[in-house]
């Protein structure tokens, strides 16, 4: 799925259902597989979503956007491990640790 189709409502819903974090991984800018340049749309939406999360008391670092191509398996693993580690350090957000 193109990251340009990731709606702000999806992100907010994930947190409202108890997700500790949301990761969005997409094509590098200029390399969109769908020729829609949706990765530029998601960049704008993530910026807005981080502002919304901050307003409702959720650390915006719990939402992460990364550009990763299909050939970057090692980088993907590193990014996911890093994100998981940071989320673990932050703890479960709904328990009032933020």
Q: Residue 58 domain-assigned? A: yes
Q: Residue 12 domain-assigned? A: no
Per-residue pLDDT of 12-44, as tens digits, reads 999 999 999 999 998 888 877 777 778 888 889
Question: How far is it, in rounded angstroms, from Cα 89 to Cα 84?
Answer: 9
Q: How far is CA 84 from the centre of its chain?
A: 12
Question: How far is it, in rounded angstroms, from Cα 80 to Cα 84?
Answer: 6
Mean pLDDT of the chain: 88
Q: Residue 37 domain-assigned? A: yes
What value does the mean pLDDT take over residues 31-60? 87
Q: Residue 11 domain-assigned? A: no
Q: Residue 10 domain-assigned? A: no
Q: Residue 5 domain-assigned? A: no
Q: Residue 41 domain-assigned? A: yes
- State which residues form the domain around 57: 20-95
* Percent share of the chain, pLDDT over 90: 62
How many distinct structural domains can be found in the chain?
Answer: 1
């Amino acid at each position: 799925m193109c990251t340009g189709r990731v709606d702000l409502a999806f992100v907010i819903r994930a947190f409202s259902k108890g997700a500790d974090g949301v990761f969005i991984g997409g094509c590098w800018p200029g390399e969109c597989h769908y020729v829609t340049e949706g990765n530029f749309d998601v960049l704008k939406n993530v910026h807005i979503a981080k502002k919304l999360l901050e307003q409702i008391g959720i650390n915006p670092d719990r939402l992460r956007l990364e550009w990763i191509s299909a050939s970057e398996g090692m980088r993907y693993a590193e990014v996911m491990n890093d994100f998981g580690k940071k989320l673990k350090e932050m703890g479960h957000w709904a328990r009032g640790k933020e």
